[in-house]
Structure formats: structure tokens, C-alpha cells
A and B are shown apart, each in its own frame.
Chain A
Amino acid sequence: MVSSQTDEVYLDYQSARPVDHRVVEAMQPYFTERFGNPASLHGVGDRATEALEDSRAKVAAFLNATPREIIFTSGATESNNLALIGFARRNKRSGNHVVITEMEHISILNIAKYLEQEGFRVTRVPPDQYGRISPERLRARVTDETILVSVGWASNEIGTVQAIPAIAEMLRGTGVALHVDAVAAEGQLPVDMAAVPVDLLSISSNDIYGPQGVGALYVRKGVRLAAVTMGGGQERGLRSGTENLPGVVGMAAAAGIAAGEMSAESVRLAAMRDRLIREVLSNVPDSHLNGHPTERLPNNAHFRFEGIEGESLLLSLRDEGIAVSTGSACSSKTLEPSHTLISCGLLHEEAHGSLELTLGRFSRESDVDRVMQVLPGVVKRLRGLSPLYRAK
């Protein structure tokens, strides 16, 4: 495996995951001997259609949905575009108000801005200090004009998990549709469409160790969308363009593996996460946990360290062969600190000093050992340079 065969300690699974070798094996024939366009009317095309529909059934099973409810896309960002823009346009006559949260992934935030330009009104619900959205607070923002609510199942950044079953239950029967971006949660928590009344749900392949560049949108039977990509009418007209067959086959294989291994894997990762959190908080002075203490993804540990800046921390850890992420402005394209941390109530200077460690399928206890060997010294060195840090 990528991470276990090198000395590099990879703790940035939320950014990208290696593709599982079993997935690569499943994909391999579809680049060469089993190539084909499902739209073709000959034997090669028929076999491609079979592979496509077989994959659709596997992804549907992963979500406990029916195959007709699965639309393949190029990834979660496209799924989010189709869900929000497609739903809002198609259901405009019912109302012009959309509710999202301040915690959403950048793709949802920017789609919401776009909807505002199209004339929709968007309300953004703030979380509490742990990143949790109160279902009651959300409900209070729903008006007669509201047609859609969009909430991420979990934060890809700070790992806080939302009470999606409670939110879905609360919206049931109100005539307001619920979209859930499940990218951070899929493969880590049960995402069961038969048990939870969600109308639209975005998932990505890479977040379950499948290839990048493929994803899906779950569309509950009866939910109407307008297409946002025009063309040959593939995917029930909702997503035109020749299907990415090797990608779709890979996503289906990844979904099958995730369904089988998730419960044991989540227990394993949660134990490592808890050890990491415990040891960082007790070995690094003036360090804090961001996100929820218990309602968090099994693989996510997110900290902030007083008096230092995240990019310096990231560079120092990179020198030690440890790959991590930060919510600091200095490592972002916009030079703005993480909107997630700000919406949890952190000051900019606090958000700058954050460190995100995300575990995954190939993480080992020795990775945590290595972080604990290095991190306290790195924080101490950077604080020695900083005019801001004064030990308490």
C-alpha cells in the first residue's frame, strides 16, 4: 500500500485516499478488453451496459437504495450541483428559499451563492461551538417559501457528525426536500436510505478508496430534478455524457468493500483517533480540540495550538515526513482561514493555528507514535520564534 510501503506518514485522508488494490484489480479489464460505450447497440456496448447497471446495483446496495435512485456523476461536486441547482430550478414554483448551514463544504457554499444570483434566497444556519447544527434551530429557519434544506452529514474538516436522522425526521411531511452531502461520512458511518428519509444525497468514490473523478447522486423516487448538463441524455437525462465505465466499476467495488469492512474499521480508527487526541492534548501545552468531543468521525482529530500558525506547522511536519492539513489562511488559495472554524466561533488568529489529522485504511498505531515523537518538539520550536506565545 502507498502509505505503508514508504517512511511517509500519511494523515491527510480527508484530502485524498489511495485506491484500494482490490478496486484497481476490478477496474483493470475495463480499460482494455472490456472497454465499451453503454450507448452502443452491439455486443461490446451491451457488455458495457451490463457492467454499468451491475455497478449501479452495488452502489445502491451500499446506500440501501434501489438502482433507479442512483445517478453516476464525475464526483461529489457535480452531485451537489445537480442536487441543489437541479432541484431549485425544477421546483421554483413551490418557493424560492433554500436553507444551508455555515458548516458546508465549499462546493455547497459556492452553489448557494450562485442560486442567490438566480434569484433564490439562501439562509445559512450557524453551528454551535462544536460544529453541531441544532435541528430546532434549522427548523426555525424553514418558512412557507422553503423548498430545500442542505446539510452535510459530517464535516470533512473538523469531523463533527450532524444529527441527520433527527433532521430528516423533522422535515418529513413538511414538503421541504432534504439534500445531504455525505462525502465525509460515507464508508465511516452507516448511510441507510431506507432508514433515513433523505431526498437527495451526494457521495464520492475516492472517499471510499475508489478512483477520483467519479461519484453519485442518490435521488429518492419521486423527487424531480432539472438537468444541469445537456447532451445525449445518459443517466435518465439527468447527467449527459458517456459514462466513465472503469471509474463506475471502481466505485462499485469500493462500495462493496466499504460495506463489508466499515463496522470493524470504524472501531479500529476511532480507538487510534482517541489515543491521538488524548496524547496530543496531554503532551502539547495550550492545545485544544476543535469539533465535537464525541459526535465526530472515527478518523478525524483536529487541534489548534496557541501562538503558532498552521502552515509553519504543516511545513515542519512535512520535513519530518508527516503529511497533514491545516485550516490556516496561509495554505489556502483565498488566504482566508477556514470558514468552518470561524463559524464554530474561533477568532482568525485561533483558526490560523489549526492542525487536521485524518486517519484511514492504511493508518497504523506506529503513525500515531511518529506524530507524538515529533509534534511536541515542532510546536515548541515554532512557539520559540513567535512573539504571540506566552505560556500560562
Chain B
Amino acid sequence: MKSTQYSEKTLDHFRNPRNVGVLEGDDVAVGRVGNPVCGDLMEMYVRVKDDRIDDIKFQTFGCGSAIATSSMITELVMGKTLDEALEVTRADVADALDGLPPVKMHCSNLAADALHDAIKNWRSGKRLEPLGADEIAAAAKGCSSGATGETTVIQGTEDYAGKGVYASVADVTALADKRVLVLDKGVASARLALELTRVTPRVIFLTELDALALPDELASEIKRSDVKMLFQSRLLAVRGEGEVEKVLVHDLDEDSDYELFVDAVVLLED
């Protein structure tokens, strides 16, 4: 079966998703599962009254089944008690959609998990918090705080000094058309990242923080720019054959490592 061979019901929920959006208020809890690296991210908002789901809304980044399962579960649990809602499983959601392609049963059928997470948060008294609250907690336990609080050793930076690793950049045109990774060392590094966007379309700003710790004006300039932000990320190693080819990045939120192809790494001296 092809991964996109969906039932009519799944396609209907994909085309006309029910209960899309967000809820606000102090009687709302939110659950969040998945991550954009895997290609699926779901947020499920529930408003609870008298131990029942009074309203439910979702937002999903993902493939057809990710969107359809999110939509389906909102219909399945609307008006149910929290205990009843907790009994709804991934299999129930798939059944209600007349089945899912086998390959999608695991990775793109996270809606039940997102709902259960929302109910768990409700029951533990965690009300709607602005996005990023979880990340702050994860980052806090995972890393030293502050843009310049770099304590870990980055493997390979000495081996590649002058071969793609730079401690200073006197002339940005030397990096024209390169994929440049700039490590967050505060204001000077952020300004350099912005300046680099004049000479190359690919500038990545990597920081362990979950938000920009920069003066407002500079922060909003970066947000508007083509600088790609990598929050909650730690540079572990620089790799390549004789010159920089890629870096190993640790995702503090997901606690996982991945490789990223770059041509240059800028680690401004403190």
C-alpha cells in the first residue's frame, strides 16, 4: 500500500478539517507532540468544564494523516468526560478514519498522544502557557544559560581552523555563497550573521537559548531577515575531509543529534 493511499474519510478530514485553531483562557490546557524534524507537530487545545471537554481545537504541521487524525479526534472526544477521552487510543482514531496506511500508523497518528498530553496537563494544573514554556524547561536542565556561557568542547574546531572554522571575519565577501553557521556569541555574532545575508542566502544562527537574547531592534531585524535560527541547539562537532563539510548538532529539546551540511563555522572569540 502506498503511503498516500488514504481512505475517503481520511481525505475528507484532510480537506475539511474540523475544529482548527487555538483556544484561549484560564480554563484551557494544551498538549503538544511530535517535532518538525520528523515532519509532524501537533498542538491540541482543550477547554474543560465540569470534567468534560467543552471545546477542543488543534493546529498541525504534517502530512495528510497527521492533519486528518488531529481533526478526527476532536470529533471523537467533543463533549466526553476526561476519563472517556483518555480511553480513546491511536487505533480508535485510525478505525474512525476507516484505517490508515500501515506506514502512517506510528509516525503520523499522534493525535491521541497530543490529546492525552493536554488532559494530563489539565489534571496537573498546568493551564495554557505561551508556546515555548516546555522548551525553556528542557533548555534549563540541558544547558548552561546565556549566550556566552559556552562550556562544552566543540570537537574539531582546532583541526579545521582556517579550513572553514573562523574566529573572526574581517571581510564577509570571503564567505560569499557559502553556507555559514554562526554560533551565538551575543550582539557581535548576531550583527555578523545579518551582514552575511548580503553575500550568501544561507546563514544559520545557532544558539542554546530558546529565544533571542538581543537588544529589541537587533532581534526584530534578525527575525525579519533570511537568517535561519536554530534555537535550543548545541554545536557538538565539526566534520569533513580536510575542510569543513558538516557539523554535528545536538537538539536540546528533543535530546537528539543530527548532521547539518555547512561550508563554514564562525566562532567569534569572546
Complex partner residue of B38 from A308, A319, A329, A331, CB under 8 angstroms: A329
Q: Which of B59-67, B138-146, B150-158 contacts A (4 or more CB under 8 A)?
A: B59-67
B4 touches A388 (CB 8 A): no
Shortest C-beta distance, B217 to chain A (Å), equals 16
B4 touches A311 (CB 8 A): yes
A386 touches B246 (CB 8 A): no
Shortest C-beta distance, B154 to chain A (Å), equals 19
B63 touches A128 (CB 8 A): no
B107 touches A335 (CB 8 A): yes
B177 touches A129 (CB 8 A): yes
Number of chain B interface residues as a range: 35 or more
CA distance A344 to B103 in the complex (A): 27
Residues of the B chain whose Cβ atoms lie less than 8 Å from the Cβ of A350: 228
Chain B 215-253, CB within 8 Å of chain A: the 1/0 string? 000000001100010100000000001100110000000
CA distance A362 to B15 in the complex (A): 30
Shortest C-beta distance, A101 to chain B (Å), equals 12
Residues of the B chain whose Cβ atoms lie less than 8 Å from the Cβ of A309: 39-40, 61-63, 66
Given A330-B108, A332-B3, the answer on whether A349 and B262 have CB atoms closer than 8 Å is no
A312 touches B260 (CB 8 A): no
Complex partner residue of A345 from B67, B104, B107, B261, CB under 8 angstroms: B261
CA distance A387 to B30 in the complex (A): 13
Residues of the B chain whose Cβ atoms lie less than 8 Å from the Cβ of A319: 11, 15
B113 adjacent to chain A (CB < 8 Å): no
Shortest C-beta distance, A328 to chain B (Å), equals 6
A387 touches B246 (CB 8 A): no
A34 adjacent to chain B (CB < 8 Å): no
Residues of the A chain whose Cβ atoms lie less than 8 Å from the Cβ of B246: 126
Chain A 91-119, CB within 8 Å of chain B: the 1/0 string? 00000000000100000000000000000
B3 touches A342 (CB 8 A): no
Complex partner residue of A388 from B17, B20, B61, B67, CB under 8 angstroms: B61
Complex partner residue of B41 from A310, A312, A329, A388, CB under 8 angstroms: A388
A348 touches B37 (CB 8 A): yes
Shortest C-beta distance, B62 to chain A (Å), equals 5
A264 adjacent to chain B (CB < 8 Å): no
Residues of the A chain whose Cβ atoms lie less than 8 Å from the Cβ of B242: 140
A345 touches B61 (CB 8 A): no
What 12 new A-B contacts, CB under 8 Å, besides A311-B3, A335-B103? A129-B200, A311-B64, A312-B62, A330-B63, A330-B66, A345-B260, A347-B228, A347-B230, A348-B36, A348-B38, A386-B60, A386-B61
**A to B CB contacts below 8 Å, 5 in the list:** A309-B39, A309-B61, A311-B4, A312-B62, A352-B39
Interface positions of A (Cβ within 8 A of B): 102, 123, 126, 128-129, 140-141, 288, 307-312, 314-316, 319, 328-333, 335, 337, 342-345, 347-350, 352, 384-389, 392
